[in-house]
Amino acid sequence: METKNVCLKLSTDGFNSFRLFVAPYFCWSMILTIYNLSLGIYMRLEFMFLSMVIPGPNSSGQNVDVCLRPLIDELKQL
First to last CA, the chain: 17
- Domain assignment present for 42: yes
Number of domains the chain is built from: 1
33: left (phi over 0), alpha (psi -120 to 50) or beta: beta
- Domain assignment present for 2: no
pLDDT at 62: 58
- Domain assignment present for 56: yes
Q: CA 64, CA 5: separation in Å to the nearest integer?
A: 26
DSSP 2-65: ------EEEEEEEE-TT--TTS--EEEEEEEEETTS-TTTTTSGGGEEEEEEEEESS--GGGHH
- Domain assignment present for 35: yes
Q: Which domain holds residue 33?
A: 8-77
Over residues 8-32, the pLDDT tens digits come to 888 888 777 666 666 666 778 888 8
pLDDT at 17: 65
- Domain assignment present for 49: yes
- Domain assignment present for 61: yes
Over residues 44-56, the pLDDT tens digits come to 889 889 888 887 7
